[in-house]
Amino acid sequence: MNVRDALIQRKSTRAFLDKPVERTLIERILDAARHAPSGANTQPWQVAVVSGKMKQRLQQGMESCFRNGERGRMDYQYYPEHWFSPYTERRHACGLQLYAALDIAREDRCRQQDQWATNYRALGAPVILFFFLDAGLAAGSYVDTGMFLQSVMLAALELGLATCPQAALGEYPDMVKDILEYPQDTTLICGMALGYEDTAAAVNRYRTPREDVERFTRFFD
Q: pLDDT 10s digit of each residue in the chain, 221 long?
A: 899 999 999 999 999 999 999 999 999 999 999 999 999 999 999 999 999 999 999 999 999 999 999 999 999 999 999 999 999 999 999 999 999 999 998 889 999 999 999 999 999 999 999 999 999 999 999 999 999 999 999 999 999 999 999 999 999 999 999 999 999 999 999 999 999 999 999 999 999 999 999 999 999 99
- pTM (predicted TM-score): 0.96
Position 106 scores a pLDDT of 83
Give me the residues paired with residue 3 across strands: none
Q: In this structure, is residue 215 part of a structural domain?
A: no
Q: In this structure, is residue 214 part of a structural domain?
A: no
Q: In this structure, is residue 216 part of a structural domain?
A: no
Residue 49: enclosing H or E segment and its boundaries? strand 46-50
Position 18 scores a pLDDT of 96
Question: Residue 180: what residue type?
Answer: L
Q: In this structure, is residue 217 part of a structural domain?
A: no
Position 77 scores a pLDDT of 96
Per the structure, the complete domain to which residue 162 belongs is given by: 3-205
State how far the Cα of 218 lies from the Cα of 211, in Å rounded to an integer: 14
Position 107 scores a pLDDT of 87
Q: Could you give the number of structural domains in the chain? A: 1
Position 1 scores a pLDDT of 86
Position 151 scores a pLDDT of 98
State how far the Cα of 74 lies from the Cα of 188, in Å rounded to an integer: 8
State how far the Cα of 93 lies from the Cα of 95, in Å rounded to an integer: 5
State how far the Cα of 183 lies from the Cα of 164, in Å rounded to an integer: 25
Q: In this structure, is residue 196 part of a structural domain?
A: yes
Closest by CA position to 194, among listed 7, 22, 4, 75: 22
- On whether the CB atoms of residues 29 and 208 are closer than 8 A, the answer is no
CATH number at residue 32: 3.40.109.10
Q: In this structure, is residue 179 part of a structural domain?
A: yes
Q: In this structure, is residue 22 part of a structural domain?
A: yes
Q: In this structure, is residue 27 part of a structural domain?
A: yes
